[in-house]
Amino acid sequence: MAKESKEKIKYILLFLTGILFSNCANQLPPGGGEVDNIPPEIIELYPADGTINFDDEYFELGFSEYVDKRSVKDAIFISPAIEGSPELDWSGKYVRVYFPYKLKDSTTYVVTIGTDVVDYNNRNRMAQAYTFAFSTGNVIDNRTITGRVFADEPEGVLIFAYKLSGDINPAEVKPDYISQSGVDGSFKLGGLAAGTYRIFAVKDQFRDLLFQSGQDLIGNPFKDIALSETDSLYSNLNFFLSKADTTAPRLINAVMTDANHILVNLTEEFDSTILKSINFHLYDSTASLKHNVKYAYKGNSKAAEFVLVIDSGLSAENSIYLIADSLKDKMGNIYLNDYVLITVTERPDTTAPSIIKTFPAANTNQADFQNQKFYFLFNDAFDSSAVNDGITFKDTSGFKIPYTINFIDDASFEIISTKKLDAAKDYIIEIDFSKFEDAAGNKLDSVYQYKFRTITGLEFTGVSGIILKVNEDKNYVAILESVENENKYQQKAAADGSFSFQRVLPGKYRLWAFEDSDSSGTYNYGWPYPFKSAEEFSFYPDTLNLRARWTQTDLKFNFR
């Protein structure tokens, strides 16, 4: 019995020892404790940054915690580009990365570990890309370009750098040097030789190191960067991302929701200028008949959808096509004479037009007494000929306010007072729905009351100052935009760079400016190929906290 007990104890010890060594060998973090919100970091490196005469076949990284192995493999970028894929050999938190082929002689290599690296336990991303350089010769190129990507989600944007030898098409040529933006959008390109570089910021969805215009966003530089033998740093190369789309929108489908309404779906978001009834018509190929479109409007449909309205009378037995004379997207791409087969229904429309959205919201006490636009969106298009007879703008004593009306499309309009309203006063816009009749003859027999109160005028704030380090023969536009809502103010700076924003609503704001090189008054994002430079811009470094009745003056803004 004693012998059997000893054998049992022996096997139990061997089993526990096996479990212990198995856990040591696997990449498993300890369980329990507080949730880990700390991003992983690289804490050890071989070779050291700036090493010369490097002749090993690998480099090594040590992380501060266990990381996902696949994320590291996908986050390694080596510049200049090498053929093949590196092999990774892991040991706990350390990895040895073997080059697939021997490196070139007398060449500076830059290795970037991007922010796609996540820890094993809670998928925390590295906060900043990690970059180091080494040379296989006795000299290392140490020139550096830094900058920032300004976007809603700037982290992880790839920086493509090309040493210029002609025009570069980033859709066909992979970059010579690569880096990646961090959490705040900042990036660093190091290990650069003397020369001229064209640099793009690309939100590379496929991580194939090529710009795909169909799905990638791109930031174009305001100029190419020339680095001489004596240069060591170029800073503040900043980017806005945009969609460099060259594909015109197309019709996907057109479905009748009732006998009068056609819901149209396009391949992409469109330019609202196409929403005119004369831009569309229907063709009954069975009966060889043309049907005109009565109304067109956006409504509450999705970004790539809109609604057309017709008089009823289409036959569900016939083949009927929707014809679009022209389709235009927000980049200006146009497709002419597109068509699609319609799914027809004869179900009648029994819903009368009514208001589904206003801006400002009804009963607001924040309406401006000067140049305020009151926006009204209906759920259906209507005959606009009698609309003016159905609108009354007045104060609470019944005094009528003169106004103008501006139709956005056939289902929405803006009302603007032609006289200055009084401060801190109540007003009413009455809309008689009986004057708003849709194509099927539906209308409501009721009056809608939109009530609002104007501000006192004491709520405003402002900011003034001067943009320094600008070219006096250039045009500059200053922009003040809220970080809390959609409030935005814009003005052309004076010749000396001075600006002054008045009647600004209180809140936190970003201040930035751009060189309006084409005098358009709007920022030009440029174009990747054939290359057209973007306009240079710069952000004031601090967020402005503007308080009511307190104007901030003498702000100095260094553009460069």
pLDDT of residue 1: 45
Please tell me the distance from the alpha carbon of residue 313 to that of residue 515, in angstroms, as a whole number: 56
Joined tokens for residue 523: 């920022």
3-state secondary structure of 324: strand
Contact between 261 and 173 under an 8 Å Cβ cutoff? The reply is no
| Tally of CB atoms within 10 A around 339 | 13
Spatial neighbors of 429 by CB under 8 A, at least 6 apart, are: 374, 391, 392, 393, 415, 449, 450, 452
Tens digit of each residue's pLDDT (9 = 90 or more) over 349-385:
999 999 999 999 999 998 999 999 999 999 999 999 9
In whole angstroms, give the CA distance from residue 78 to residue 111.
5
Residue 134 and residue 142: Cα distance in Å, rounded? 10
Q: Give the torsion through C-alpha atoms of 193, 199, 201, 202, to 10 deg.
A: -100
Structural contact between residues 142 and 232, judged by C-beta atoms closer than 8 angstroms: yes
Token output for 182: 């961090």
H or E, element range at 8: helix 2-25
Q: How confident is the model at residue 19 (pLDDT cuts 50, 70, 90)?
A: very low
Express as a percent the part of the chain with pLDDT over 90.
80
In tens, the pLDDT along 246-286 reads: 899 999 999 999 999 999 999 999 999 999 999 999 999 99
Where residue 27 falls among pLDDT bands split at 50, 70, 90?
low
Beta pairing, strands 195-203 & 217-219: antiparallel
CA–CA separation, 500 vs 489, rounded Å? 10
How does residue 28 score in pLDDT terms, banded at 50, 70 and 90? low
Question: If pLDDT is split at 50, 70 and 90, which confidence band does 30 have?
Answer: low
Q: How confident is the prediction for the chain on average, in pLDDT?
A: 92
Higher pLDDT, 505 or 323: 323
| pLDDT beyond 70 at 407 | yes
Is residue 23 predicted with pLDDT exceeding 50? no
Q: How far is CA 316 from CA 253, 256, 295, in A?
A: 16, 10, 21
**pLDDT tens per residue, range 71-90:** 999 899 998 888 888 999 99
d(CA 271, CA 255): 21
In the prediction, which pLDDT does 25 show? 45
Backbone angles phi, psi at 212, to 5 degrees: -105, 110
Sequence-distant (6+) residues with CB within 8 A of 137 are: 52, 53, 105, 106, 107, 108
DSSP code at position 58: E
Structure tokens belonging to residue 378: 């209906």
Residue 128 banded pLDDT, cuts 50, 70, 90:
confident
How high is the pLDDT of residue 5?
52
What's the pLDDT at 398?
Answer: 95
Paired tokens of 319: 């083949």
Give the pLDDT confidence score for residue 81 in this predicted structure: 82
Residue 355 · residue 431 · CB < 8 Å: yes
10 Å CB burial of residue 263 (0-12, 13-18, 19+) is: middle
Give residue-wise pLDDT tens across range 185-210: 999 998 898 999 999 999 999 889 99
**Locate tokens 């009954």: which residue?**
284
Which is nearest to 393 in space by CA: 438, 343, 452, 345? 452
Ordered structural domains, the chain, with CATH: 42-240 (2.60.40.1220), 251-343 (2.60.40.1220), 355-453 (2.60.40.1220), 461-558 (2.60.40.1120)
Query: 358, 359, 371: which is closest to 416 by C-alpha?
Result: 371
pLDDT reading at 6 higher than 90: no
Helices (H), 109-168: none
Burial environment of residue 403 by CB neighbours within 10 A (0 to 12, 13 to 18, 19 or more): middle
Please identify which residue in the block is written with the tokens 């200028």: 273
Residue 447 confidence class, pLDDT cut points 50, 70, 90: very high
DSSP 193: P
* pLDDT of residue 13 exceeding 70: no
CA angle 288, 290, 295 (to 5 degrees): 155
Q: Where are the alpha helices (DSSP H) in 271-403?
A: none
For strand 476-482 and strand 488-492, is the pairing parallel, antiparallel, or unpaired? antiparallel
Which residue is associated with the tokens 């479990």?
Answer: 19
Say how many C-beta atoms besides its own lie within 10 A of residue 93's C-beta: 18
> Is the per-residue pLDDT at 11 higher than 60?
no
Q: How far is the C-alpha of 392 from the C-alpha of 367, rounded, in Å?
A: 18
What's the CA angle centered on 257, arms 256 and 261, to 5 degrees? 70
Residue 3 has pLDDT above 80, yes or no: no
| pTM for this model (two decimals) | 0.79
